[in-house]
């Protein structure tokens, strides 16, 4: 079974600062994928970034980067130069590479960007 | 504008009512999913469809009945629900099972309240 743990229920950050959202995972699968999603108050889950367990380089997408440490089973999301529009819930999720894409989500972190 | 559209956005129903949630995706995907998001709980996968065939039922009570007439449409039929079924129901789609590196795309969800 897979499990995602996000230990930060809430984070408060000043605008333009960088922020790191923590995510640790547990799985017995050899190959797996890690995803981060953003959920604004409107409810939609917005895909941000993907990291495959076999990728040697950390994934980056614009202001988002994923700090992947396989040995420590962590996949932290780093948002650089935070903006007011970044205020939302952030979810870490994982899925096996083989078979059905069954995403397992963490509890989420509520990020608030202060002006 | 999201490529996955869910209707209605809000639904209030009594425990004896029958209603249906609708999801439509315009992304050319072949896999579709239903998730339940309750307060203070991680998203829970309910059902998975791949090319109109159900491939996953995550021990969902029979009062929830999914239907996938084609790869673009997904329904969730509801009958004799319980108060604990009040939640945000999210629909998602992805390329197809077996392409697990591709992210799932979510709709805005239907917020369901059971009286």
User: What tens digit of pLDDT does each residue of B12-69 get?
Assistant: 999 888 999 999 999 999 999 999 999 878 899 999 999 999 988 989 999 999 999 9
Mapped onto helix, strand or coil, the DSSP state of residue A7 is coil
In this model, does residue A11 exceed pLDDT 60? yes
Summarised one tens digit per residue, pLDDT across range A66-107 is 999 999 999 999 999 999 999 999 999 999 887 778 899 999
Q: Do B106 and A44 touch (CB under 8 A)?
A: yes
pLDDT (0 to 100) of residue B22: 98
Is the backbone of residue A21 left (phi > 0), alpha (psi -120 to 50) or beta?
Answer: beta
Is the peptide bond preceding residue A27 cis, with omega within 30 degrees of 0?
Answer: no
pLDDT confidence band for B2 (50 / 70 / 90) = low
CA nearest neighbour of A48 among A29, A26, A25, A76: A76
The position carrying tokens 């509890």 is A107
Q: How far is B63 from chain A (nearest CA, A)?
A: 22
pLDDT confidence band for B91 (50 / 70 / 90) = very high
The larger pLDDT score, comparing residue A1 to residue B86, is at B86
- Interface mutation target, options B39, B56, B60, B100, chain A, most CBs of A under 10 Å: B100
């Amino acid at each position: 079974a897979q499990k995602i743990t996000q230990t930060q229920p809430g984070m408060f950050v000043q605008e333009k600062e960088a922020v790191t959202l923590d995510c640790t995972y547990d799985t017995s699968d050899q190959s797996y994928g890690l995803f981060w999603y953003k959920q604004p108050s409107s409810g939609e889950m917005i895909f941000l970034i993907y990291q495959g367990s076999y990728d040697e380089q950390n994934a980056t997408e614009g202001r988002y980067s994923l700090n992947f440490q396989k040995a420590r089973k962590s996949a932290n999301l780093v948002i650089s130069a935070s903006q007011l529009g970044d205020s939302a819930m952030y979810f870490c999720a994982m899925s096996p590479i083989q078979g059905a894409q069954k995403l397992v989500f963490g509890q989420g972190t509520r990020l608030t960007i202060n002006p | 504008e999201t490529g996955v559209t869910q209707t209605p956005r809000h639904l209030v129903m009594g425990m004896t009512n029958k209603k249906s949630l609708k999801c439509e995706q315009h992304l050319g995907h072949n896999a579709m999913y239903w998730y339940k998001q309750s307060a203070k709980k991680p998203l829970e996968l309910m059902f998975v469809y791949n090319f109109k065939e159900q491939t996953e039922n995550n021990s969902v009570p029979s009062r929830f009945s999914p239907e996938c007439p084609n790869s673009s449409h997904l329904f969730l039929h509801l009958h004799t629900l319980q108060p604990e079924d009040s939640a945000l129901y999210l629909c998602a789609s992805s390329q197809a099972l077996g392409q697990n590196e591709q992210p799932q795309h979510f709709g805005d969800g239907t917020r369901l309240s059971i009286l």
